[in-house]
A and B are shown apart, each in its own frame.
Chain A
């Protein structure tokens, strides 16, 4: 019985009852999984590419500091100001200082899970800087004062009708607009903000050590605006995003784009190397890069190192039966789903997210789809025992299952109890399983063990 600690359990119980939420998450997850399956089927060497991805990432995570140093040196040579933040609080402080030093009042921002991790918006807003989210999904949830519920599709939990209602309420659009009209309304609202903003904030999909470049992909074009129009640019990048060479990038991009939404490449890819150069009419005057550690160096030295290989494609979320049933908010962490259930407790030091590794059926689908083969189910299982020694009932069960005579007795008792509809002496042991569902009926007729004994090869 290893019960899931209260917060995930309560939140997920509410979530599964929310029919609209479940339908929205399932619909989008199905679509994303289908797109990925089709793209992978059209890529004959995809398995070889995954092997490459994992092998290369093992080299990187085995020598992380070397690549951090190399990236830092090359980015500085290109004219960027590189800062290193050991934790979220330091990253937020640095961002506020950069904004204050340059007298910035308004910022436009592209989607960045790393920025979510350091709660950058909250920090900047508290310092008097208005931050506008410009990714369509992020724009929606910012209007609704929500957190992202998926690392790639942040507003996956909202239906078109709900978005329409929200826009009517906040932007004054006519009621019940279709998707196209909603997008047009956001375009109009955001265009002015892009042109007026002092600061552009992004994450980074890849950071290239040998050139000091940040690579950013997007389908909407908001990242291009954010990295071209404002006079100050800030990129907040986890040190796990560093890859050794520009020559590695097309391969990692191929893995990411296919797994994230079934593309060969996103509509836009910006490779940003330093600020605007002499004579150029566009681009920021200053490019600041905050390299965020926040536990990553520590994780790289421990048994869960491969979680740093994650490309943040979101495939393990869309394919996870638990995520699909409850959506992202139930996890109450920056990173939800299988990758989130591993990285969240690791970053926070097995603290408040200690229950997340239990939010998993160990079905293994995540490991099957992960483009860089992060062994998520193994990690989730190992994390459970790191968090908590197995409870007494589990130890008892293990002892029973390993002792044939006890096992037989147990099975007889179990059959008897299930025949009575789950009541009787052993019923409390089943409580956790029977809270939300009926206990199964034992099968009619002979038991498996009796049947087995009649087989000729047993005699």
Chain B
């Protein structure tokens, strides 16, 4: 039910959604990397279910792409190589919550899983499990209680502007193309 509501909302704002099973993931990833001729792919390494991350990283590298990820510093913190990140054509992130009411993907920040991978590349692919769909924004925000992350970002469709003659154009500063692959259990 709420998944259908999400699909209608998010497709309505131009998110390219696919429902797929885990066994299809490799093939679809290979096809996407090939289609985009993505030489480098931005890929946060934290905040993912381990097996899923491993599948993605292995497949992307098998296709001949380099993955760009936040590096671990001596003090335990993380750090992006900004120029490498800037040249990535595709960003792949895990999305642990998406909201049916608004058709939004939610990205809390945290060490190792910041939000730049979903912002700087021209194409952004978000991977989720179907079970992670939330009915509404208010309910999702309430999950955090007083413990809000430093950046909580909601992405609803591609980057766009209507500032020239109110005609909608995509890919202003963020990705012009947003893909959301929802993996059924």
List 4 additional A-B contacts (Cβ < 8 Å) besides A247-B141, A282-B114.
A267-B174, A268-B154, A271-B153, A283-B109
Instruction: Determine which of A163, A228, A278 lies in contact with B164 in the assembled complex, contact meaning CB atoms within 8 Å.
Output: A163
Q: Is the CB of A273 within 8 A of B82?
A: no
The 8 A CB mask of B77-118 against A (1 = contact, 0 = none) is: 111101000100000000000000111100001111011100
1-31 of chain B: CB within 8 A of chain A: 9, 13
Chain B 150-161, CB within 8 Å of chain A: the 1/0 string? 111111111111
Which of B104, B141, B150, B164 contacts A277, CB < 8 Å? B150
A281-B115 Cα distance, complex, nearest whole Å: 10
Contact B104 A179 (CB under 8 A): no
Query: A266 contacts B150, CB within 8 Å?
Result: no
B50 on interface, CB distance cutoff 8 Å: no
- Of all chain A residues, the one with the shortest Cβ separation from B77 is A279
A213 in complex: contacting residue of B80, B148, B155, B164, CB < 8 Å: B148
Report if A112 contacts B (CB, 8 A): no
Q: A163-B164, A228-B115, A273-B150 are in contact. Are A279 and B171 (CB under 8 A)?
A: no
The 10 listed contacts between A and B (C-beta, < 8 Å) are: A136-B164, A159-B165, A179-B164, A190-B173, A211-B146, A219-B159, A224-B115, A264-B101, A269-B156, A277-B150
Minimum CB–CB distance from B127 to chain A (whole Å) comes to 19
Q: Are B102 and A228 in contact, with the CB atoms below 8 A? A: no
The stretch among A24-32, A344-352, A415-423 that forms the contact with chain B is: A24-32
Would you call A267 and B160 a contact (CB within 8 A)? yes
Residues of B near A249 (CB, < 8 A) are: 141
B54 beta carbon closer than 8 Å to chain A: no
Choose from B13, B149, B163 the contact partner of A273 (Cβ within 8 Å): B149
Chain A 133-192 interface residues, beta-carbon cutoff 8 Å to B: 134-137, 140, 153-156, 158-160, 163, 179-180, 182-184, 186-187, 190-191
Q: Contact check: which of A27, A247, A272 meets B151 at CB < 8 Å?
A: A272
Q: Are A264 and B102 in contact (CB under 8 A)?
A: yes
Chain A: residues with CB nearer than 8 A to chain B?
Answer: 24, 27-28, 31-32, 78, 134-137, 140, 153-156, 158-160, 163, 179-180, 182-184, 186-187, 190-191, 194-195, 210-211, 213, 219-222, 224-225, 227-229, 246-247, 249-251, 253, 261, 263-283
Shortest beta-carbon contacts, A-B, top 8: A221-B174, A279-B111, A282-B114, A137-B163, A221-B173, A281-B78, A220-B172, A136-B163
Q: How far is the CB of B102 from chain A (nearest CB, A)?
A: 4
B116 CB, min distance to chain A CBs, angstroms: 6
Q: Is the CB of B173 within 8 A of A134?
A: yes
Inter-chain contact A195/B153, CB cutoff 8 Å: no
Is B49 interfacial (CB 8 A cutoff)? no
Alpha-carbon separation in the docked complex, A391 to B172 (Å) = 52
Instruction: Tell me whether B111 and A281 are in contact (CB under 8 A).
Output: yes
Point out which of A179, A180, A268 has the most chain B C-beta atoms below 10 A from its C-beta: A268
Q: Which residues of B contact A253 (CB under 8 A)?
A: 137
B9, B112, B146, most chain A CB atoms within 10 A: B146
Residues of chain B lying within 8 A (CB to CB) of residue A160: 164-165, 167
Alpha-carbon distance between A340 and B161 when the two chains are bound, in angstroms: 24
Q: Across the interface, do A220 and B148 meet the contact criterion of CB distance under 8 Å?
A: no
From known contacts A28-B165, A221-B159, A279-B77, infer whether A191 and B149 are also in contact, taking CB-CB under 8 Å. no
Q: A226's closest neighbor in chain B, by CB?
A: B173
Q: How many residues of B contact A (CB 8 A)?
A: 54
CB <8 Å contact, B82 and A195: yes
CB <8 Å contact, A281 and B80 = yes
Q: B166 contacts A250, CB within 8 Å?
A: no
Residue pair B142, A247 in contact (C-beta under 8 Å): yes
A282 with B166: CB separation less than 8 A: no
CA A158 to CA B165, docked complex, whole Å: 7
Partner of A28, one of B9, B150, B166: B166
Q: Say yes or no: B171 contacts A184, CB within 8 Å.
A: yes
Is the CB–CB distance between A32 and B114 below 8 Å? Answer: no
Contact A280 B166 (CB under 8 A): no
Chain A residues within 8 Å of B110, by CB: 280
| A184 CB contacts on chain B under 8 angstroms | 171
- On whether A265 and B102 interact (CB within 8 A), knowing A228-B115, A280-B111, A282-B116, the answer reads yes
List, in ascending order, chain B residues with CB within 8 A of A282's CB: 80, 109, 114-116, 151
B150 touches A135 (CB 8 A): no
Give the nearest-CB partner of B172 in chain A.
Answer: A220
How far, in Å, is B24 (CB) from chain A's closest CB? Answer: 28
A264-B102, A267-B159, A280-B111 known; A191+B153 contact, CB < 8 A: no
Question: Inside 8 A of A275's CB, which chain B residues have their CB?
Answer: 150
* Shortest distance from the beta carbon of B106 to any chain A beta carbon, whole Å: 10
Q: Which of A158, A224, A247 touches B138 (beta carbons < 8 Å)?
A: A247
Instruction: Pick the contact of B161: A195, A220, A265, A269 (CB < 8 A).
Output: A220
Q: A249-B141, A270-B153, A280-B114 are in contact. Are A187 and B172 (CB under 8 A)?
A: yes
Instruction: Report A-chain residues with C-beta under 8 Å of the C-beta of B149.
Output: 273, 277
